[in-house]
Amino acid sequence: MTDWMRKVLESKRATRDRLRALPFAEKLKLLEKLRERSLWIAKSHLRTRKPPKV
């Protein structure tokens, strides 16, 4: 594993730890934001557009 990749993984782990340590109410607010975003993405015309015929 390269140093760069190791740093990326460490950073991801640190972010997960930080999020995990948040109070439940804060985590629920983040869940609401995540849900809003996923609904917005699902509604996007890019998502619902039919793929071109090959």
| Residue 1 contacts another protein per CB under 8 A | no
Say whether residue 47 binds another protein (CB under 8 A): no
8 lies in the site for another protein, by CB under 8 A: no
Q: How far is CA 35 from CA 13, 22, 23, 42, 51, in A?
A: 23, 18, 19, 10, 25
Candidates 9, 11, 14, 38: give the one binding another protein (CB under 8 A): 38
> In this chain, which of 1, 20, 45, 52 binds another protein, going by CB under 8 A?
20
